[in-house]
Structure 1
Amino acid sequence: MDRPLTGPAAEKFEAIAAEAIAGMPAAFREQMTGVVVRIEEFASAEQLAAVEMHHEERWYLTGLYEGRPLTEESVWESGGMPPVISLFRQPLLLEMRETGVALEALVKHVVIHEAGHHFGFSDEEMHALEDQVE
């Protein structure tokens, strides 16, 4: 796949991501206030390298958490960049087309999964969080 896909604009993705975060249980939602959510068309070369993927695989990375998980933060450190959840629009559109899963469900799943990295969760704990989101 070389051509960009058409579909909802980045603003739609942002709105769905905000709804997913707003639907989290209060204890989790409060800890997400400093996390930045960005919508990009694709992961950058640096982001792909960070997860050991190549440029040709850019269509398969739908989201990425960059930052220090809460479980590794220290009160002695300050001044760092805020954690970021990046959602990659083109891969999400492709997954939506290939699977038939609604965009809202895909974006919600990726946001919750990446938020799970922020909390230092295992995959099992991430699925439990996803089940709790309204």
Structure 2
Amino acid sequence: MARSNQTADWGNRLSPSLGEIESLAIEAYAHLPETFRALCGDITIQVSEFPDDQIVEDMGLESPFDLLGLFEGTGIGERFSLQTGEQANRITIYRRAILDYWAEYEEALGEIVTHVLIHEIGHHFGLSDEDMERIEASAE
């Protein structure tokens, strides 16, 4: 039996860059339900190769590959306080950990990025796993 060529155009592709992952994340975020995005207020989405050493240490990670994303900022109860110097909400997506996960599982890269965004936001604002599953299903 003859084998068919299944390489498509992978022979000439490079792994997605920081900018390409960021574009995937911005696009995925734009397609999340408005009520869910409203939890975040103004938010910055950024992409880094890995978490810095301080985050790895603070979170007790065995490896920087153990963290796909991180939400940093204020929660709902904190946003409306009179505190000064509030930290802007930010989600950092870790490119190398996401690419490693992508290589291990049969999921589309965009689905992984969407999943990370939903879970970083959801966990930060105390949503249940069931709530996050519903949001993820609505984003598909």
What TM-score do the two structures reach when normalised by structure 1?
0.82
Give secondary structure in 2 for the equivalent of 1:84.
Answer: strand
What are the ranges of 5 or more consecutive residues in structure 1 without an aligned counterpart?
1-5
Shift of 1:33: 4.4
C-alpha RMSD of the superposition = 1.9
The count of aligned residue pairs is 127
Match of 2:70 in 1: 64
Aligned to 1:30: 38
Q: Secondary structure at the match of 2:50?
A: coil
SS in 2 for 1:121: coil
User: For structure 1, which segment, 90-99 or 74-83, has the greater mean C-alpha deviation from structure 2 after superposition?
Assistant: 74-83
Identical residues among aligned pairs (%): 32
2:22 is matched by which residue type in structure 1?
A: E
Larger Rg: 2
Name the counterpart of 1:3: none
Aligned match of 1:89:
95
- Distance (Å, rounded) in 2 between the aligned partners of 1:35 and 1:97: 29
Give, in angstroms, the shift of residue 30 of structure 1: 3.4
TM-score by length of 2: 0.79
Unpaired runs of at least 5, structure 2: 1-13
* Equivalent pair of 2:40/2:89 in contact (CA under 8 Å): no
Does structure 1 retain, via aligned residues, the 8 Å contact 2:25–2:113?
yes
Determine the structure 1 residue equivalent to 2:110. 104
